[in-house]
């Protein structure tokens, strides 16, 4: 009986731990075929073509490969993320072919080999939304940030750079709640959308990037 009670106690601890882990980590993209078919694809106006996205798997699970050559289109979904419980955005990504030499802070060079947007709806129209554009820069340094040359409502924030990690998987983390306060002056409890994009519609250069394990966590 004592052995059985001990066994049940261990099982209970495991279940509690697993439940807690699940509650504290919110997976955003699974990169499965079913999800891929349901994701909203948006081509950027004026781009020569769409970015080509494809799925594959490695030892760490599913990932998305993105290839662009003068193209620009993003994959996104509308969902509500509670930033009180899970304020941290986690991204694992890699840039195989970057966009070295462009001015990413200008309209003519506003391309990124990899980027992940988080969006907060703050009004009745898309133009009133606020966004943070987390980027894998080809020319700037980690933790640099600037206002998008196209809209005051979006901030570009460098989480990774090919100046340090070219063709290498990198895992990064950002406190989205703190960043909305710092960059937009907003105390937000949730965000309402997330998207990723590899784009070269301004520079017309080729870029290749990979995305994996994108999720929100409590710490």
Residue 174 phi/psi, 5° resolution?
-140, 135
Mean pLDDT across the chain, nearest whole number?
Answer: 88
**DSSP tag of 126:** G
Of 114, 98, 112, 104, the C-alpha closest to 64 is: 114
Q: For the chain, how are helix, strand and coil distributed in percent, rounded to 5?
A: 20, 45, 35
Q: Which CATH superfamily is domain 26-217 in?
A: Galactose-binding domain-like (2.60.120.260)
In this predicted model, what pLDDT tens digit does every residue of 110-146 receive, in sequence order? 999 999 999 998 876 666 799 999 999 999 999 999 9
Q: What distance in Å separates the CA atoms of residue 105 and residue 147, rounded to the nearest whole number?
A: 8
| 76 and 65 Cβ atoms separated by less than 8 Å | no
Ordered by start, the domain boundaries in the chain are 26-217
Read off the pTM. Answer: 0.87
């Amino acid at each position: 009986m004592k052995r059985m009670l001990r066994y049940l106690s261990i099982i209970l601890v495991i279940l509690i731990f697993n439940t807690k882990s699940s509650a504290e980590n919110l997976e955003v993209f699974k990169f499965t075929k079913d999800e891929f078919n349901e994701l909203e694809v948006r081509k950027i106006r004026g781009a020569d073509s769409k970015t080509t996205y494809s799925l594959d798997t490695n030892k760490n699970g599913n990932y998305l490969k993105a290839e662009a050559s003068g193209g620009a289109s993003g994959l996104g979904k509308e969902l509500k993320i509670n930033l009180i419980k899970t304020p941290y955005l986690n991204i694992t990504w890699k840039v195989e072919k970057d966009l070295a030499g462009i001015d990413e802070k200008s309209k003519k060079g506003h391309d990124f080999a990899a980027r992940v947007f988080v969006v907060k709806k703050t009004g009745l129209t898309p133009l009133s939304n606020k966004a943070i554009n987390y980027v894998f820069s080809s020319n700037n340094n980690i933790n640099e940030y600037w206002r998008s040359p196209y809209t005051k409502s979006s901030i570009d924030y460098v989480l990774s750079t090919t100046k340090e990690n070219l063709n290498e998987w990198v895992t990064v983390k950002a406190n989205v709640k703190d960043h909305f306060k710092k960059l937009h002056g907003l105390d937000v409890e949730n965000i309402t959308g997330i998207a990723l994009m590899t784009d070269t519609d301004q520079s017309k250069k080729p870029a290749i990037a990979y995305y994996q394990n994108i999720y929100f966590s409590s710490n």
